[in-house]
């Protein structure tokens, strides 16, 4: 570390990013004009299937303890980032009223983000005015248990979390730092360990954040962008902040090999591919020896953001959302689950009072006798409904306990391995009773039945059935749309997805390749 002749106290800035199985750390020490930065990666995941578990909390805490000891971070303020596996961000633009209403609507639907894991979702927002007088809003959504696990691990190890934000929203500010003014708008692609983050940025502002359902290799990324560039172009034309409303740049945050493939794929197009890793290696001596400098793009951008707050775009801080949600879960759960029972009980009490009054009148009024009998029958029906609602509430609670620890990401990996080539899923939902509903399409009807057969053989599926098919034509292409219902296999009383080992993954990939090869062979029979 560089030393200064002056006796000034060093100013230290620390940023961390939580990835699938590692934590990227950047520590920046400044003493006057002298600045020293070092970057390190620490593994955290050992046996934990998901972060949102007791095992995940234990392993994350152990990793934090190692980082605090190695970097001397006891009591240190840390700016924390979550990669695309743990959060999603949505963008809205319009008048202040339109933006607030749209963000309220998005926050109300945030429980639908199944890829963030089972359980309550938490949202944080940031709204700011633009130069043209309009208002932009960002909403970042994460699993509440993810944030609680992160906060608990930090508290146990003496780390002070000052902010928790989405990595993809920060990298756009890195583009502003390293590229000229006329080259700060375009597509931003980040290839991470478990997936791909695809965004549109304009002068450092995140406009769109997309997470494809499955992971892709380098060649598939090229194909994915090529097929969707027109859709992204239309989105950018509607939401662009700059005068130039044509996407001309692609900023890639990944390995140099993947960057070369992208440059070759779009060499003859108007899309200019820029490698963020190359820019970081040229500007940061601390990253010169790194095999993949792009791994530190987000944390380096957060360090720059801490040094230059005047040039930053505001970002949602999930810690604010966590503080806002602390007292809400209990009353929300009671209101959602018990209100039918409470309403039935109140109605039953009122009708019981009327029944008692009618009983007193029945002795002197024959008409009251008939009315009393009707009220008594109605009271019995209401009591029966109350019993049924109580049983329903108990049943829903039991089902919730069964599916609470279902690993959605691992379940999607299993389901994806059963699909044939060129087949795709248009919708997937996991019901509270453990039913998995799948909608998608295949090139041939035979592929649908093969998909159901392979799905039923999965260790995580108890039963699978085809509920319907429909032929559709798009241009010259004919496809078969399908709806499949499957039941997740309960393990030890819970709907659970077992560990997906490397051997199983390799076997699944081999089976899928064999099915694809058989489908391509001509039928001479």
| Segments making up each domain of the chain, as ranges | 11-325, 329-403, 408-517
Buried b (16+ CB within 10 A) or exposed e, 77-98: ebbbbbbbbbbbbbbbbeeeee
Predicted pLDDT of residue 511: 58
Strand 135-143 and strand 121-129: the pairing is: antiparallel
What whole-number distance in Å separates Cα of residue 302 and Cα of residue 289?
21
Q: Where are the alpha helices (DSSP H) in 404-443?
A: 408-417
Predicted pLDDT of residue 358: 63
Residues 6+ apart with CB under 8 A from 351: 375, 378, 379, 382
Strand 435-442 and strand 424-430: the pairing is: antiparallel
Predicted pLDDT of residue 398: 64
Is the pTM here over 0.85, yes or no?
no
Predicted pLDDT of residue 497: 47
26: which strand partners?
A: 15, 39
Sheet containing strand 185-192, edge to edge, reads: 205-210, 195-202, 185-192, 249-253, 272-275
Using alpha carbons, select from 204, 202, 209 the residue that is nearest to residue 82. Answer: 209
User: Is 397 within 8 Å of 366 (Cβ atoms)?
Assistant: no
Predicted pLDDT of residue 518: 52
Say yes or no: do domains 11-325 and 408-517 share a fold. no
Predicted pLDDT of residue 119: 85
Residues 6+ apart with CB under 8 A from 432: 396, 399, 400, 403
Using alpha carbons, select from 435, 416, 414 the residue that is nearest to residue 425. Answer: 416
Residues 6+ apart with CB under 8 A from 110: 121, 122, 123, 139, 141
Predicted pLDDT of residue 501: 45
- Cα angle 454, 458, 461 (rounded to 5 degrees) comes to 110
pLDDT mean by block of 10 residues, the chain; 525 residues: 40 91 90 80 92 92 95 91 90 89 88 82 88 84 92 93 90 83 84 82 82 74 83 84 80 86 87 86 72 82 76 75 56 57 75 68 64 82 85 70 62 82 83 83 87 86 87 78 86 48 50 53 41
User: Is 399 within 8 Å of 431 (Cβ atoms)?
Assistant: no
Burial bucket for residue 402 (CB in 10 Å: 0-12, 13-18, 19+)? buried
Tell me how long the chain is: 525
Superfamily of domain 408-517: General secretion pathway protein M, EpsM (3.30.1360.100)
**In the CATH scheme, what architecture does the domain 11-325 have?**
2-Layer Sandwich (3.30)
């Amino acid at each position: 570390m560089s030393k200064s002749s002056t006796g000034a106290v060093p100013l230290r800035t620390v940023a961390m990013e939580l990835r699938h199985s590692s934590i990227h750390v950047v520590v920046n020490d400044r003493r006057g004009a002298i600045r020293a930065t070092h970057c390190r990666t620490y593994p955290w995941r050992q046996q934990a299937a998901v972060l949102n578990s007791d095992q995940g909390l234990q392993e994350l805490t152990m990793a934090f303890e190692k980082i605090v000891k190695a970097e001397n971070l006891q009591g240190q303020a840390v700016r924390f980032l979550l990669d695309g596996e743990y959060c999603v961000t949505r963008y809205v633009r319009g008048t202040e009223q339109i933006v607030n209403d749209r963000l309220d609507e998005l926050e109300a639907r945030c429980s639908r983000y199944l890829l963030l894991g089972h359980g309550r979702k938490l949202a944080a927002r940031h709204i700011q005015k633009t130069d043209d007088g309009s208002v932009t809003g960002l909403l970042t959504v994460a699993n509440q248990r993810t944030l609680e696990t992160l906060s608990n691990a930090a508290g146990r190890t003496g780390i002070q979390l000052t902010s928790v934000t989405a990595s993809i929203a920060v990298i756009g500010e890195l583009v502003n730092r390293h590229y000229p003014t006329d080259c700060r708008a375009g597509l931003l692609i980040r290839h991470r360990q478990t997936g791909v983050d695809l965004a549109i940025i304009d002068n450092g502002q995140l406009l769109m954040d997309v997470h494809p359902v499955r992971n892709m290799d380098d060649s598939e990324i090229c194909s994915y962008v090529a097929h969707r560039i027109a859709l992204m172009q239309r989105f950018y034309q509607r939401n662009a902040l700059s005068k130039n409303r044509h996407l001309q740049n692609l900023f890639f945050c990944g390995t140099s090999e993947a960057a070369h493939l992208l440059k070759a794929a779009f060499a003859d197009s108007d899309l200019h591919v820029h490698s963020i890793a190359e820019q970081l290696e040229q500007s940061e001596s601390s990253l010169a020896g790194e095999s993949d400098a792009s791994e530190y793009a987000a944390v380096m951008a957060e360090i720059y953001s801490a040094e230059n707050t005047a040039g930053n775009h505001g970002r949602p801080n999930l810690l604010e959302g966590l503080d806002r949600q602390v007292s809400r879960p209990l009353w929300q759960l009671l209101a959602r689950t018990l209100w039918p029972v409470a309403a039935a009980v109140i109605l039953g009490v009122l009708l019981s009072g009327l029944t008692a009054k009618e009983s007193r009148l029945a002795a002197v009024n024959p008409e009251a006798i008939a009315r009393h009998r009707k009220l008594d029958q109605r009271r019995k029906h209401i009591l029966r409904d109350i019993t049924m609602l109580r049983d329903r509430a108990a049943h829903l609670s039991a089902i919730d306990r069964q599916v609470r620890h279902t690993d959605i990401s691992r379940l999607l990996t299993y389901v994806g391995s059963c699909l044939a080539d060129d087949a795709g899923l248009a919708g997937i939902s996991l019901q509270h009773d453990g039913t998995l509903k799948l909608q998608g399409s295949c090139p041939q009807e035979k592929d649908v039945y093969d998909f159901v057969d392979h799905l039923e053989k999965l260790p995580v599926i108890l039963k699978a059935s085809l509920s319907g098919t429909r032929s559709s034509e798009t241009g010259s292409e004919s496809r078969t749309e399908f709806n499949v219902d499957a039941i997740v296999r309960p393990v030890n009383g819970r709907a659970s997805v077992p560990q997906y080992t490397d051997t199983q993954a390799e076997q699944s990939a081999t089976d899928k390749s064999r099915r694809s090869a058989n489908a391509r062979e001509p039928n001479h029979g």
